[in-house]
């Protein structure tokens, strides 16, 4: 079976929750992507902001801090870029800076304490254009509460290849834990077109914010938000 396009994937899963993407666009450049979708007013009232070498998820207006909604989504530490859907991003980035290898830095993470869905923690580490490591901390489908940890090494993507993890798969009404990982194809010529493709593939009811960036170019990330649907300078 051939990989699906991003559009086909998100037509089949209208509410994917949070998304991490690692792709090589048609210009040969490898880049990452982070996407927020949300169903509730609190989840939709969020934005992505660049602060130095970090990409932060925060509220669009003054609101109490909610660590499950507000966090560092991407962080640059030395030669490493880490991005994902929660506070584990900073933890993994610090471990890498201390000299731990990626597979160890992704160990001992936990899924979110948000019953009944128990959202997975999904994380990507990029050290170069050639390789990235995906990590997922997931709850078992059985009654067992011990975290299932998945680590995936992705190497040497060809132009047009993409790999992604989503926290959920859903028709928009009944979210369940997403697939361990999904391979896809992209028609994006560059980082900015990848942002367009991701944004346009999402159900407009649920899209909140998205960013794409190169491994060494987080400070130049391309951003998009629900409020305006356009790139933010």
Q: Can you give the residue ranges of every domain in the chain?
A: 4-225
> Taking Cα atoms as reference points, which of 75, 38, 72, 41 lies closest to residue 58?
72
Q: What is the mean pLDDT of the chain?
A: 93
Token representation of residue 182: 């999904």
CATH of 4-225, one of 3.20.20.10, 3.40.630.30, 3.60.20.20, 3.20.20.80: 3.60.20.20
The mean pLDDT of 169-194, rounded to a whole number, is 95
pLDDT confidence tier of residue 230, bands split at 50, 70 and 90? very low
Kindly report the backbone phi and psi dihedral angles of residue 17, in degrees, each rounded to the nearest multiple of 5, phi listed first: 75, -125
pLDDT of residue 232: 42
pLDDT of residue 52: 86
pLDDT of residue 228: 53
pLDDT confidence tier of residue 233, bands split at 50, 70 and 90? very low
CB-based burial, 174-202: b 16+ in 10 Å, e otherwise: ebebbeebbebbbebebbebbbbbbbebb
CB atoms within 10 A of CB 146: 8
71 Rama sector, left if φ>0, alpha if ψ -120 to 50, beta otherwise: beta
User: What is the percent of the chain with per-residue pLDDT over 90, rounded to a whole number?
Assistant: 85
The mean pLDDT of 129-137, rounded to a whole number, is 92
Q: What pTM does this model have?
A: 0.94
């Amino acid at each position: 079976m051939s990989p699906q396009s991003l559009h086909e994937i998100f037509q089949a899963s209208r509410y994917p929750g949070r998304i991490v993407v690692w792709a090589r666009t048609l210009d040969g450049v490898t880049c990452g992507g982070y996407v927020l979708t949300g169903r509730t007013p609190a989840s939709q009232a969020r934005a992505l902001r660049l602060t130095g070498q970090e990409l932060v998820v925060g509220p669009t207006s003054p609101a109490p801090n909610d660590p499950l909604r507000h966090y560092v989504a991407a962080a640059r530490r030395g030669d490493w870029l880490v991005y994902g859907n929660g506070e584990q991003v900073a933890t993994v980035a610090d471990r890498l800076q201390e000299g731990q290898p990626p597979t160890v830095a992704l160990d001992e993470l936990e899924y979110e304490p948000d019953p009944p869905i128990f959202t997975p923690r999904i994380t990507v580490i990029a050290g170069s254009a050639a390789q990235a490591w995906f990590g997922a901390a997931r709850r078992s489908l059985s009654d067992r509460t011990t975290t299932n940890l998945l680590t995936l090494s992705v190497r040497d993507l060809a132009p047009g290849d993409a790999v992604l993890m989503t926290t959920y798969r859903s028709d928009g009404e009944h979210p369940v834990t997403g697939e361990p990982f999904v391979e896809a194809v992209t028609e994006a010529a560059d980082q900015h077109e990848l942002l367009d493709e991701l944004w346009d593939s999402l159900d407009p009811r649920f899209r909140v914010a998205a960013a794409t960036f190169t491994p060494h170019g987080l400070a130049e990330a391309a951003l998009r938000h629900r409020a305006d649907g356009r790139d933010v300078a």
